[in-house]
Amino acid sequence: MALFDIFRRSGTKAELPTVTDIHCHILPGVDDGAPDLETSLELAGRMEEMGFKRIFASPHITESTFENTPEMLDTALDRLSTALKEKGSGLILDRSSENRIDDFFREQLEAGNIRPLPGNYIIVENSFIQEPWNLDQFLFDLKIKGYKPIMAHPERFFYYHDKNLSRYEALHNAGNYFQVNLLSLAGAYGKIEKKVAEALVEKGWVRFLGTDIHNLAHVEAIENYLTTRDARRQFERLVPNLLNDTIETPQS
């Protein structure tokens, strides 16, 4: 324990395995993330200090709770982008969305109202209660339409935890991408989520990393994690497989 304390006090920080975050909730006033522009600016500033150079915000699109439209999200994006430029930030900011697999998402997708990440990657999120009905067919249909599904934080879905990674393996082998949360690796959700996230990293199945930052407590959890040897170990395993930095920056 003494050696660990010395390491933490030294201020040594693990270098992030990517400079691109594809999953966070820092747009002002659109979901359960940043409630206002002031908070958005503080979150973005702290992320830049961590080492991020590009951020693709991923506000929730969820039936009944966050029925966000392109107009709502683009307005929030423009507000934050303008404010960052006025402060002299070098961050490159854009957005996609985190899409709960429900009827509202299906309707918005059919209407052409969903903005995927460059390269046609699309972030999808399971319900936290149970696996969506007919998930495999839905993901297959997305691929037929030319999308590349990224499953957001699969390590957080408890109904997969007792399957000894078999369900994860099936989803991975079907050509779906996994995005693990940096907060999961940091242990912010609990020991089980951390263990499962590390197992997915060990298998080489994690192709995207996201912060999933919603608030300053999340920022602080990640900042603390970056001072640990555990972060260095996990990042070394992640680096060969991550695709975050291969995503192109949209031309303005």
**Span 170-201, pLDDT tens digits:** 999 999 999 999 999 999 999 999 999 999 99
List pLDDT tens digits, range 111-136: 999 999 999 999 999 999 999 999 99
Q: Output the pTM of the full model.
A: 0.94
In this prediction, residue 126 carries a pLDDT of 98
What's the confidence (pLDDT) of residue 1? Answer: 37
**What pLDDT, on the 0 to 100 scale, is given for residue 8?**
45
From first to last of its 252 residues, the chain has per-residue pLDDT tens of 333 343 444 458 899 999 999 999 999 999 999 999 999 999 999 999 999 999 999 999 999 999 999 999 999 999 999 999 999 999 999 999 999 999 999 999 999 999 999 999 999 999 999 999 999 999 999 999 999 999 999 999 999 999 899 999 999 999 999 999 999 999 999 999 999 999 999 999 999 999 999 999 999 999 999 999 999 999 999 999 999 999 999 875
Residue 149 near residue 143 (C-beta atoms within 8 A)? yes
Sign (positive or negative) of CA dihedral 17, 48, 148, 180: positive
Q: How many CA atoms lie within 13 A of 1 on its CB side?
A: 0
Q: What is the dihedral of CA 153, 154, 156, 157, to 10 degrees?
A: 140
Helix (H, G, I), strand (E, B) or coil at 180: strand
pLDDT for res 252 = 59
Q: Which residue has the tokens 């060969």?
A: 240
Q: What is the mean pLDDT of the chain?
A: 95
| One-letter amino acid for residue 174 of the chain | A
Residue 251: per-residue pLDDT: 73
Q: Are 81 and 43 in contact, with CB atoms under 8 Å apart?
A: no
Structure confidence at residue 250 (pLDDT): 84
pLDDT of residue 224: 98
Tokens of 170: 């099936």
Q: Report the side by side order of strands in the sheet with 206-210.
A: 60-61, 98-100, 121-125, 148-152, 177-181, 206-210
Strand blocks (E) in the chain: 20-21, 54-57, 60-61, 92-95, 98-100, 121-125, 148-152, 177-181, 206-210
Give one word for 245, left, alpha or beta, with left for phi > 0 and alpha for psi -120 to 50: alpha
Listed in sequence order, the residues at least 6 apart from 47 whose beta carbon sits closer than 8 Å to its beta carbon are 21, 24, 26, 55, 91, 211, 213, 219
